[in-house]
Amino acid sequence: MAAALTALALVSVANPAAAADPVRVVALGDSLTQGYGLPPEEGFVPQLQGWLDAEGHDAIVINAGVSGDTTAGGLNRLDWTLADAPDAMIVALGGNDLLRGLDPAGSRANLDAILQRVTAQDIPVLLVGIPAPGNYGPDFKRDFEAMYPELAAEYDVRHYPNFLQPMTDKQEAGQSFTDLMQSDNIHPNAAGVALIVTAMGPEVAALIGEVKAQAAPATQ
């Protein structure tokens, strides 16, 4: 028995990754993250968890989405979010700033403050953008859409340009995307979320890989 325990201990030392805890990914967002209007198992976070599990990634995705939240709301609850001790964070905020027509300068300042605090703790981030409609004018659209790639570059974090990319793809192909949306035409239905997860999943997987690379012992 003692010899067996010694052998097990040696295996654990030789392969520390085998005993590592799952990577904790906190998704900080609004109703798109929270899963508004969908059964719990069909929202963004559960479907992303299922995609990661199927792809063999040892990670736990924690839902920190709050329906109706703006970038200011995300910033205001950042202490609570960080209390979940994330290893990585998905930041997907801005949709409600758009719906309310809030000044992009304020949205940018809020995202800047979030990224500053999170990266100061060496937590890898995936910053997820969303396209602005043209009805607020070209200056608004330019400033809003520019803040995501510019902040990602400033803080050297990962950037995924468009949470709703599958819908945008259909629109740009001249097709209706209402089959992917709930009746409000704002929130994706379960099929829409599945396509979002398929599109964004590889970026989340890369984020998890970044965490594991940070944790890996330096080679001699």
Contacts of 47 (CB under 8 A, 6+ apart): 190, 193, 194, 197
Give the start-to-end residue ranges of the domains of the chain.
22-211
For the domain with range 22-211, which CATH number is right: 3.90.800.10, 3.20.20.70, 3.40.50.1110, 3.30.70.980? 3.40.50.1110
pLDDT at residue 217 in the model: 72
Catalytic residue check, 31: yes
Q: Which of 30, 31, 69, 143 is catalytic?
A: 31
Determine the Cα–Cα distance for residues 127 and 89; give it in Å rounded to an integer.
Answer: 8
Structure tokens of 186? Answer: 């704002």
Mean pLDDT throughout 71-98? 97
pLDDT band per the 50, 70, 90 thresholds, residue 124: very high
What are φ and ψ of residue 58, in 5° steps?
Answer: -85, 90
SS3 call for 26: strand
Specify the pTM: 0.90
Measured between alpha carbons, how far is 169 from 186 in angstroms, rounded to an integer? 16
What confidence score (pLDDT) does residue 8 get? Answer: 37
Mean pLDDT lowest among 13-17, 71-75, 80-84: 13-17
The single residue of 21, 79, 122, 184 carrying the catalytic annotation is 184
Name the active-site residue from 30, 69, 107, 187. 187
Who wins on pLDDT, 85 or 217?
A: 85
